Chain A
Amino acid sequence: MYDFNYKRASSVDDASSSMASVDEGKFVAGGMTLLPTLKQRLAKPSDLIDLADLDDLVGITVADSAVTIGAMTPHATVNASDEVKNEIPALSKLAGLIGDPMVRNRGTIGGSISNNDPAADYPSAVVGLGATVHTNKREIAGDDFFTGMFETALEEDELVTKVVFPIPEKAAYMKFPNPASRYAVVGTFVSQGPQGIRVAVTGAGPCVFRQSDMETALAGNFAPEAVENIKQDDEDLNSDIHASAEYRAHLVTIMAKRAVAEANG
């Protein structure tokens, strides 16, 4: 690891102003992706601004037909939450599929979506449920938040404070995990609810995306048969030693079909 300056932010404002005053800063939430990245010397921040003390960013509330999750809430908390299990069981399940128990004890939703790894799970829920991302500056629609591989709409000194998930009528997440890392080779989140019918795909491409052909088909008939013959174009999909673009495209359909079946119970 290259050396860096380290500071613990005392408030959201302190975190933001600290970031604005340093050269090449990075916020650290749980650090479950950032620490491995630093250890491999793939990043060289001048300063780490630790958000660990921002206790008001931790917690889950249910109100106004939505589940709100604080940015610093760990995956294990979302997974174990009775409120999340009752209102959006698919979200609880998704949180329990991230990494392994130790990673889930430490990794956070804010960190995951801000990093926007192409194979991360949470981006599919944010887009797949039409969530709204709240930051210290504004509210960003889930559809506008993820802008490319490891890229988001966040500005340098902007940090996620919470994510508001509208409660769907039905939803499910189906993931084909990498057998070693547990990252999504392909993960598909489907939902029907106040944000319409949504099919969000992670792992397959450089960034989470909506599968509009499947959404249209499900609007006519929300059943597994509606999507089973819809082929995902493999043109811009990821290809690596774990899965070719062609195989990932195939998995998008399979995972969507299984997710719809699970959503229908």
Chain B
Amino acid sequence: MTTTAVSMTVNGKQVSADVENRTLLVQYLRENLGLTGTHVGCDTSQCGACTVHIDGLPIKSCTILARQVEGEDVTTIEGLADGDTLHPMQEAFRENHALQCGFCTPGMVMSAIGIVDRNVESLDEKTVRHELEGNFCRCTGYHNIVKAILAAHKEMTP
């Protein structure tokens, strides 16, 4: 089985690892880089637990090859906090008890930041619920997740 060195920037650091052509980005992150905060939920592009940012845009890392991301800038859940200071979205999830088991949370947070980025000027509950269509949570019933995203929107926008 041939492998190829794939290089990219992950959470601000230049990284490289030898992978097969068929290695998914999520495998590259978890198995080669040890960044296990990005979860594999359904592995069929439905649940959104594997969401990361590529050049600032939320993408499902189970549905893209590591080689397709060569040279790009990737941010995972591990790259959001500034030292001990949580990202406003992480802080809002904590303040609003927006998680129970926590499995979907990394993908929810990455996706939620995308929702705020797309709706800087105004954001309402209906929009949040609609734009969460790519993320599944089987515990919370979404209510506190929606509250957290609306709260974070206030913190993240002028």
Expressed in whole angstroms, the Cα–Cα distance for A6 and B22 within the complex equals 9
Contact for A99 among B21, B51, B131, B134, CB less than 8 A: B134
7 pairs across A/B with beta carbons < 8 Å? A3-B21, A3-B22, A31-B65, A39-B43, A52-B68, A102-B48, A102-B51
Closest 4 pairs between A and B when the two form their complex, measured CB to CB: A100-B134, A6-B21, A1-B22, A105-B57
Q: Is the CB of A50 within 8 A of B111?
A: no
B20 within 8 A of A: yes
Q: Is the CB of B67 within 8 A of A35?
A: no
B41 within 8 A of A: no
Q: Is the CB of B134 within 8 A of A103?
A: yes
A48 within 8 A of B: yes
A39 CB contacts on chain B under 8 angstroms: 43-44
A4 and B22 in contact (CB under 8 A), knowing A101-B118, A101-B134, A102-B59? Answer: yes
Q: How large is the interface on B (under 10, 10 to 19, 20 to 34, 35 or more residues)?
A: 20 to 34
Q: Is the CB of A103 within 8 A of B68?
A: no
A21 within 8 A of B: no
Expressed in whole angstroms, the Cα–Cα distance for A105 and B135 within the complex equals 15
Q: Is the CB of B118 within 8 A of A32?
A: no
Contact for B63 among A35, A76, A180, CB less than 8 A: A35
Expressed in whole angstroms, the Cα–Cα distance for A2 and B22 within the complex equals 7
Expressed in whole angstroms, the Cα–Cα distance for A50 and B90 within the complex equals 35
A52 CB contacts on chain B under 8 angstroms: 68
B64 CB contacts on chain A under 8 angstroms: 31, 35, 106
Contact for A31 among B44, B68, B111, CB less than 8 A: B68
Residues of chain B from 1 to 36 with CB closer than 8 A to chain A in the complex: 1, 4, 20-22, 24
